Amino acid sequence: MNGENTRSNTLTRKDFLRYMALIAGGSITVGQYVACQNKTDRYAHITGKINGASAAIGHRIREGSFPVPEVTTYTDTLIVGSGIAGLAAARKLQQQGIDFKVLELEPTPGGNAGFGKNAYAAYPLGAHYLPLPNLQHTALLELLEEAGMLTGYDAAGLPIYRETDLCFDPEERLFIHDRWQEGLVPQFGVQAAALSEIQRFLAEMERLRQVKGADQLFAFDIPVANSSADPVYTALDQISMRTWLEQKGYHSEELHWYLDYCCRDDYGADAAAISAWAGIHYFAGRKGKAANAESSQVLTWPEGNGRLMQHLLQFSKESLLPNSLVYQVTPAGDKVQVDYLDVHQGITKRIVADHCILAVPQFVGRRLLPARPPAANFVYSPWLVANITLDNIPAGSGYPLCWDNVVYKGRSLGYVNAQQQNISQISPDKQVITWYLPLDHLDPVNSRKYALGLDHAHWVKLIADDLAIAHRHIHALIRRIDVQVWGHGMIRPHPGFLTSQERHAVQQSGHSNIFFAHSDLSGISIFEEAFYHGNKAAENVIARRRS
Amino acid sequence: MEALLFFSVFVIATCGLIYELVAGTLASYLLGDSVTQFSTIIGAYLFAMGIGAWLSRFFKKELLSWFIQLEILVGLIGGISSAALFLLFEHALSFRLILYMLVGLTGILVGLELPLLMNILKNRYEFRDLVSRVFTFDYIGALLASIVFPLLLVPYLGLIRTSCFFGILNVLVAMIVLVKFRSEIKWAAYLKIKAVAVILFLSGIFFWANEIMTFSEGMAFRDPVIFTHSSPYQRIVLTRSKSDLRLYLNGNLQFSSADEYRYHEALVHPVMMYGGSRRKILILGGGDGMAARELLKYPEIEHITLVDLDPSMTRLFKENTLLTKLNSNSLLSPKLTIVNADAFQWLKENKETFNIAIIDFPDPGNYAVGKLYTTAFYRQLRHSLNDSSVIVVQSTSPYVAPKAFWCVNTTLLTCGYKTIPYHTYVPSFGEWGYVMASPAALYQQHDQLPEGLRYFAAGVFPQMRLFTADMDKRAVRPNQLNNQVLVQYFEDEWGKYQE
Ligand SMILES: Cc1cc2nc3c(=O)[nH]c(=O)nc-3n(C[C@H](O)[C@H](O)[C@H](O)COP(=O)(O)OP(=O)(O)OC[C@H]3O[C@@H](n4cnc5c(N)ncnc54)[C@H](O)[C@@H]3O)c2cc1C
């Protein structure tokens, strides 16, 4: 119930309060000044550590020289890698009753869709949302239905999603001109000319969303493989997104920032480094619809895509062997020998299988197979994800705290408040937010080196100072920062890559019983692509067993 | 001369008792449970006075100067005591410790006063005479204090001003003695400055008492604040005027004791008339026990489960005598089980079903509370209901916020409930709305109402269901977790109204 709060405000009272506020303000400032003088280090109290894909172990593949395995076991299909692609393949095989094993280098499954946990919350370590799937993507809709996230269809055939899996409102805000505005498209304090340019751009994207090529396929679709091959559209892959914008007469600073943001968000590099086809695909590829949500909404969970990953994991719980570094895959007649290092026992083992699915990125996969040419065009954007534990999340001025909170022209992509997806009124003692930084300030190789070389204290300073742009006094609220470095986070669709001969050639392993499955084969690193490639590889195995 | 000294005794005695009464009252206001507070405060105070009396033996020289010093000090400490306690209540880690320390300190100082005075006077009067007069005036002062305190001081001055006023009286005694015995006193000038400074200081507090109260509150309340508590979930404030006790949660009025019966009778009795079986009842929110009080008027109710987030709310309404009088001790009923949990989370885990559910959450003024008004919530609730269960949802004001009100209705309809929206007039809130709902068709199943209702009657209900044009149905969207339109409607409409 709300009633009148209270009145009887006389002028003197207001003045008094103002006066008191001034004194209080004054003493706080003085207090802080003194505190700053005493404690020049605003970061020292922040704990945490650096985690990362086990780069050191992984690098042993490059060095080679493993002893010949002693133990040999057999299985029908061996899956290397338990990312979304590997787990999707496993689900398919399990549903067909096919015997399989999954080897995973890390102690926990999920790859980029993994998640972490502390006393206060579960949180994503990488991927954190899934846009509403396109209605044609039936395999994905079925998966969501199976997981209970899609509860049925309305009379018009639109999917109804379980409300608790949709991103709770308020969804997004942008810190621009020292204030939080609603939504990520710059608006607050933006000139009318720029605003109308943004409108024109969004209308153009809406048009391209529906456009089809001469082959009657959507020009931009998910999975990428279903998109039209019409050269009118594929030609867009030859130029960068920034060039395309300029060619089309889009010049406003705000729109250019927004596209840099979008490209960095999905591909880990700005619009100058990403092909126009991929940049447009970010908008036009997504045609999802729902009975109970706007098309632009997403599915998300406190632990991010870790939720979807856990659903997939049910199908391979018993067959998953973590801490297993696969270092060599050798075709042997109609069998495949897969050699791996049991990281815990420190010994090498061999599994002989009828089929093998390599659900690992190309930069790994090509080293596993004999005489595989280097995949030079496969460029990966390094990423940093930090989970930050704080006493509380400051609100800031303007629009209230959202699920996604981005700073205009910020170095990072801002932070996600994944805990907003909890239904409870009771918030834990401490809050956890997830902060994203695509490492694109140098070229990928050097950014990767830089990231792997930085110690925790440096990350803390970098991250806390970045957050302080929008929340000036945040340093004192931060308790802990856990840093996750993804050296090869996302495949980068740089101009020319998607249409390159190499990307198409690489889809085939050159062996009739070995299949690749990884989102990088699409050139676009999203859940849907990983899921698509996992399914496709499993279907190939199933088809081959039948023949 | 003589009269003056005995007048001082009289003043001192009055002041001494007033400080004690102020501390006792404050403690029961702020900590609840007046019997315990009063008796422990009185005990501690008297004991401290004993310590003071014992300490008086160590004062051997310059008794007059010491006495003046003492009066100034008593005036200062006693005078600021209630302002200090109000201000510290929120911030102190252990408020009790501070309270008893202050009571102890005042007690010691007050305990010193009379022995010291008697020592001063002992050479000027005959002992027998002295004892008799000092104690006579002491007890008269006490009588006066105990009469004016509840009848005049608390109602007209308030606690902060009362203690300031008596603090000033204490210091005035010091001033008078200072002037009269100028020649016999060391450091007279210094003491005079000190006394004037304390008087000025206390006058300042006296003058700004309301502001201090408000400042300690962080916000302005209409009536004097008698209790505040910040739990992890909300800020609870009780205010009281002569006839009216008001509860605010996070600054929003929850009820006024003057007319809450209208709100709670309209919340509970219609749903009871429409419910078929009425054995098992669920209350979500409603930690004040008022809805439970109405429910307990039906003997056929076997069990009430009350789920309220905040243990400090339910504890307050279980223990504080002012409040248990209001809710007729409903929270102590053996038929009632209190669960302190988050309602949404609790519903998710709950396996029981209920015949009737009464949903009395705060208004959807923010995104967190807004979750409790979503289709997701009402769908979750459905699992704790039978096909014929009936629920009622408090739904803000259909006059001030028609879109918000009708949004609750639409949200329930979207989830497949049949609804009866209705409203009533609650003077302290204005026009207030409710939505009754059920998975099955709604019709009146009982016409027998409990005795002694002050507002609701079967014949009133048809009127409550009529909506005039200014409150009538609006086209609105259902409230979902992923759109939270209700919070937006609510903010727009209440925002405009309050401008
Ligand atoms: C920071 C970040 C944020 C992202 N956010 C999103 C998002 O919000 N939404 C979205 O849809 N996508 C997002 N993505 C993209 C994400 O990569 C994909 O959605 C998807 O999780 C990729 O799955 P995958 O199976 O293709 O690859 P991976 O996740 O890379 O899986 C490969 C697996 O193989 C294992 N492996 C590698 N080498 C070996 C070896 N030699 N032996 C054994 N195992 C090995 C790895 O440990 C890993 O588990 C994000 C990516 C990053 C890096």
Question: Residue B399 has what pLDDT?
Answer: 96
At B215-244, the pLDDT tens digits run 655 444 667 777 777 777 777 888 887 778
For residues B396 and B400, give the distance between their C-alpha atoms in angstroms, rounded to a whole number.
Answer: 8
Task: Return left, alpha or beta for B75; rule: phi > 0 is left, psi -120 to 50 is alpha, else beta.
Answer: alpha
Q: How many residues does chain B have?
A: 499
Question: Residue A86 has what pLDDT?
Answer: 98
Of A3, A5, A163, the CB nearest to B482: A163
- Count the alpha carbons within 13 Å of B20 in the hemisphere toward its beta carbon: 26
Question: What range defines the domain where residue B445 resides?
Answer: 259-498
Residue B259 annotated in ligand binding = no
For residues B265 and B276, give the distance between their C-alpha atoms in angstroms, rounded to a whole number.
Answer: 18
A473, A35 contact by CB (below 8 A): no
Q: Which residue has the tokens 């340019």?
A: A197
- Count the alpha carbons within 13 Å of A13 in the hemisphere toward its beta carbon: 15
Q: Do both B236 and B304 map to the same domain? A: no
DSSP SS3 for A488: strand
Write the CATH number for B452. 3.40.50.150
Question: Residue B215 has what pLDDT?
Answer: 61
pLDDT level of residue B28 (50, 70, 90 thresholds): low
What residues does ligand 1 touch, defined as CB less than 6 Å away? A 53, 61, 80-86, 103-106, 111-113, 126-130, 305, 325-326, 359-361, 364, 383, 385, 486, 489-490, 518-519, 525-527, 530
For residues B340 and A521, give the distance between their C-alpha atoms in angstroms, rounded to a whole number.
Answer: 52
Q: Do both B233 and B328 map to the same domain? A: no
Question: Residue A28 has what pLDDT?
Answer: 46
CATH for the stretch A130-166+172-296? 1.10.405.10
Is pLDDT of A48 > 60? yes
Q: Do both B266 and B381 map to the same domain? A: yes
At A72-85, the pLDDT tens digits run 999 999 999 999 99
At B336-383, the pLDDT tens digits run 999 999 999 999 999 999 999 999 999 998 888 999 999 999 999 999
Q: Do both B135 and B224 map to the same domain? A: no
Question: Residue B217 has what pLDDT?
Answer: 53
Q: Where are the domains of chain A?
A: 130-166+172-296
Tell me the chain A residues in contact with residue B349 when contact means C-beta distances shorter than 8 Å: none
Q: Do both B71 and B151 map to the same domain? A: yes
* Contact between chains at B220 and A400 (C-beta distance less than 8 A): no
Residue B244 annotated in ligand binding = no
Which one of A93-102, A117-126, B191-200 scores highest in mean pLDDT? A93-102
For residues B96 and B93, give the distance between their C-alpha atoms in angstroms, rounded to a whole number.
Answer: 9
Tell me the chain B residues in contact with residue A424 when contact means C-beta distances shorter than 8 Å: 342, 344-345
Smallest CA–CA distance from B210 into chain A, residue: A13
At B104-123, the pLDDT tens digits run 999 999 999 889 888 888 87
Q: Is the dihedral of CA B281, B285, B291, B293 positive or negative?
A: positive
Question: Can you tell me which atom of ligand 1 is nearest the CA of A81?
Answer: 34
For residues A268 and A38, give the distance between their C-alpha atoms in angstroms, rounded to a whole number.
Answer: 40
Is pLDDT of A501 > 80? yes
Angle CA(A180)–CA(A184)–CA(A187) in degrees, nearest 5?
70
Average pLDDT over residues B166-192: 86
Question: Residue B30 has what pLDDT?
Answer: 64
Residue type, A144: L
For residues B134 and B5, give the distance between their C-alpha atoms in angstroms, rounded to a whole number.
Answer: 9
Is pLDDT of A239 > 70? yes
Q: Do both B14 and B28 map to the same domain? A: yes
Of A64 and A174, the structure prediction assigns the larger pLDDT to: A174
- Nearest Cα to A289, choosing from A209, A233, A365, A218? A209
Q: Do both B177 and B132 map to the same domain? A: yes
At A176-203, the pLDDT tens digits run 988 899 999 999 888 899 999 999 999 9
Q: Do both B272 and B241 map to the same domain? A: no
For residues B358 and B479, give the distance between their C-alpha atoms in angstroms, rounded to a whole number.
Answer: 19
Mutating which of B360, B482, B498 best tests the A interface, going by the most A Cβ atoms within 10 A?
Answer: B482
Question: Residue B26 has what pLDDT?
Answer: 77
Mean pLDDT for chain A?
90
Pairing of strands A380-390, A298-300: unpaired
Is pLDDT of A401 > 80? yes
Q: Read off φ and ψ for residue A482, nearest 5 degrees.
A: -105, 125
Question: Residue A431 has what pLDDT?
Answer: 93
For residues B291 and B266, give the distance between their C-alpha atoms in angstroms, rounded to a whole number.
Answer: 10
Q: Do both B124 and B69 map to the same domain? A: yes
Q: Do both B413 and B471 map to the same domain? A: yes
Residue type, A230: D
Over pLDDT 70: what percentage of chain B? 94
Query: What are A240's two structure tokens?
Result: 């960068």
What is the torsion angle, in degrees rounded to the nearest 10, for the CA atoms of residue B78, residue B80, residue B86 and residue B89? -80
Angle CA(B47)–CA(B50)–CA(B51) in degrees, nearest 5?
95
For residues B225 and B208, give the distance between their C-alpha atoms in angstroms, rounded to a whole number.
Answer: 15
Mean pLDDT for chain B?
88
Mutating which of B260, B483, B493 best tests the A interface, going by the most A Cβ atoms within 10 A?
Answer: B483
Is pLDDT of A467 > 80? yes
Smallest CA–CA distance from B263 into chain A, residue: A1
Instruction: Tally Cβ neighbours within 10 Å of residue B347.
Output: 22
Is pLDDT of B62 > 90? no
Residues 6+ apart with CB under 8 A from B332: B318, B324
Mean pLDDT is lowest, of A26-35, A102-111, A511-520, for A26-35
- Nearest Cα to A51, choosing from A119, A127, A129, A108? A108
Distance from the alpha carbon of residue A527 to the mean position of ligand 1, in angstroms: 9
pLDDT level of residue A95 (50, 70, 90 thresholds): very high
For residues B407 and B493, give the distance between their C-alpha atoms in angstroms, rounded to a whole number.
Answer: 12
At B68-108, the pLDDT tens digits run 999 999 999 999 988 888 777 655 556 778 888 999 999 99
At B278-288, the pLDDT tens digits run 999 999 999 99
Upstream peptide bond of A223 is cis (omega within 30 degrees of 0): yes
Question: Residue B34 has what pLDDT?
Answer: 61
Residue B288 annotated in ligand binding = yes
At A279-305, the pLDDT tens digits run 999 999 999 999 999 999 999 999 999
Q: Where does a domain end: B142, B173, B208? A: B208
* Contact between chains at A17 and B481 (C-beta distance less than 8 A): no
Is pLDDT of A23 > 60? no
Question: Can you tell me which atom of ligand 1 is nearest the CA of A111?
Answer: 49
From A66, A263, A349, A360, the mutation candidate for ligand 1 (largest count of ligand atoms within 8 A of CB) is: A360
Q: Do both B301 and B237 map to the same domain? A: no
Question: Residue A518 has what pLDDT?
Answer: 96
Tell me the chain B residues in contact with residue A164 when contact means C-beta distances shorter than 8 Å: 376, 481
Mean pLDDT is lowest, of A51-60, A107-116, A155-164, A489-498, for A51-60
Residue B264 annotated in ligand binding = yes
Over pLDDT 70: what percentage of chain A? 92
Of B233 and A267, the structure prediction assigns the larger pLDDT to: A267
**Distance to chain A for B112, nearest Cα, Å:** 37
For residues B22 and B159, give the distance between their C-alpha atoms in angstroms, rounded to a whole number.
Answer: 7
Over pLDDT 90: what percentage of chain A? 78
Smallest CA–CA distance from A298 into chain B, residue: B482
DSSP SS3 for B354: strand
- Nearest Cα to A405, choosing from A168, A244, A184? A184
Is pLDDT of A427 > 50? yes
Q: Do both B251 and B264 map to the same domain? A: no
* Contact between chains at B211 and A400 (C-beta distance less than 8 A): no
Residue type, A443: D
For residues A109 and B267, give the distance between their C-alpha atoms in angstroms, rounded to a whole number.
Answer: 52
Smallest CA–CA distance from A17 into chain B, residue: B215
A78, A93 contact by CB (below 8 A): no
* Contact between chains at A9 and B220 (C-beta distance less than 8 A): yes
* Contact between chains at A1 and B255 (C-beta distance less than 8 A): yes
DSSP SS3 for A273: coil
Residue B308 annotated in ligand binding = yes
Question: Residue B259 has what pLDDT?
Answer: 94
Domain count, chain B: 3
